[in-house]
Amino acid sequence: MIDTHSHIYSEEFDKDRDEVIAQAKATGIEQVLLPNVDASTVDAMHRLEEAYPDYCKAMMGLHPTSVKANYLDELSVVERNLKLRPYIAIGEIGLDLYWDKTFIKEQKKAFEQQIIWAKQYNYPIVIHCRDAFDEVFDVLDAQIDDRLTGVFHSFTGDKDQARKVMAYKNFKIGINGVVTFKNTTLREVLKKVPLSFIVMETDAPYLAPVPYRGKRNEPSYIKNVAETLAGVYEITMDEVIKVSNENARSLFKL
Ligand SMILES: [Zn+2]
């Protein structure tokens, strides 16, 4: 399994990061992709990647909830790092109107600028979209071309929103522990989404799947996501893993 979205460089893992990674390897996690948040997370992310080369792969980007008055300074950190070395993707980027709408204009500008860089560097984009599907689609519609690829990470949209993502053709849908939650509509939505659009992720330390819901999430728990997807698609876990791995490999050029 490939965990396509995991913040295991964060301080929640400072006490037992090596054990968490050993457990991931023992569970059959082949690779863990690390989305950046902002300037404050870059060093820890790079350090983890150095400690586990080929296993942990870093992205570069500015998260929408970190877009504030100083967002241009934050963007210049992203720009400088992109010039310094290669990354697996631009992420995570997007719009979040759930936590705070104060900087919506700035969020849109930051999202747009980072899509432009993704096109320039030929990197996929990892999109964070919370309470903002219409706005994210507006920005994307203006920027989309045949080469732009990406994933709607932690997808929790409805059937129409899933349809719109699939219409972009080169975009995937990132599924995590939310799919295991008792009260989610996501399993129903996924009945209209072919497995060829799905990549798996944890979003650790957040959104731990059942039966760990509410606890700290970690890459090894992705097996619970695979198990639930096997139920949704009425196929074996091995088939879920095979197809979602192929999708992740082609999107991130692993
Ligand atoms: Zn994230």
Q: What is the mean pLDDT of residues 113-130?
A: 98
Cα Rg of the chain (Å, integer): 17
Half-sphere CA count of 9, side-chain side, radius 13 A:
26
Distance in Å, CA 230 to ligand 1 centroid: 24
pLDDT at 99: 82
Distance in Å, CA 34 to ligand 1 centroid: 8
Which structure tokens are listed for 90? 């631009």
Q: The pTM is what?
A: 0.97
Q: Quote the CA–CA distance of 220 and 22 in Å, as a whole number.
A: 9
What 3-state DSSP class applies to 15?
Answer: coil
Q: What is the mean pLDDT of residues 135-152?
A: 97
Q: What is the mean pLDDT of residues 227-245?
A: 98
pLDDT at 91: 96
pLDDT at 241: 98
The residue assigned the tokens 């997370």 is: 41
For 253, phi then psi, to 5°, come to 50, 50
Q: Are 131 and 97 in contact (CB under 8 A)?
A: yes
- When the pLDDT of each residue in the chain is averaged and rounded to a whole number, the result is 97
Distance in Å, CA 232 to ligand 1 centroid: 24
Distance in Å, CA 7 to ligand 1 centroid: 7
Name, in order, each residue with C-beta under 8 angstroms of 172's C-beta and a sequence gap of 6 or more: 150, 151, 152, 197, 198, 199, 247, 251
Distance in Å, CA 188 to ligand 1 centroid: 24
Binned at pLDDT 50, 70 and 90, residue 65 comes out as: very high
Distance in Å, CA 9 to ligand 1 centroid: 12
pLDDT at 100: 87
Instruction: Give the tens place of pLDDT for each residue, 68-106.
Output: 999 999 999 999 999 999 999 999 999 999 988 999 999
Q: Is pLDDT at 143 greater than 90 in this prediction?
A: yes
pLDDT at 16: 98
Distance in Å, CA 194 to ligand 1 centroid: 24
Give the percent of the chain with pLDDT over 70. Answer: 100
Q: Is pLDDT at 147 greater than 90 in this prediction?
A: yes
Distance in Å, CA 93 to ligand 1 centroid: 9
Distance in Å, CA 206 to ligand 1 centroid: 8
Distance in Å, CA 45 to ligand 1 centroid: 13
Q: Is pLDDT at 239 greater than 90 in this prediction?
A: yes
Which structure tokens are listed for 7? 């913040």
Q: Is pLDDT at 37 greater than 90 in this prediction?
A: yes
Q: What is the mean pLDDT of residues 149-169?
A: 97
Instruction: Give the tens place of pLDDT for each residue, 187-208.
Output: 999 999 999 999 999 999 999 9
Distance in Å, CA 236 to ligand 1 centroid: 28
pLDDT at 148: 98
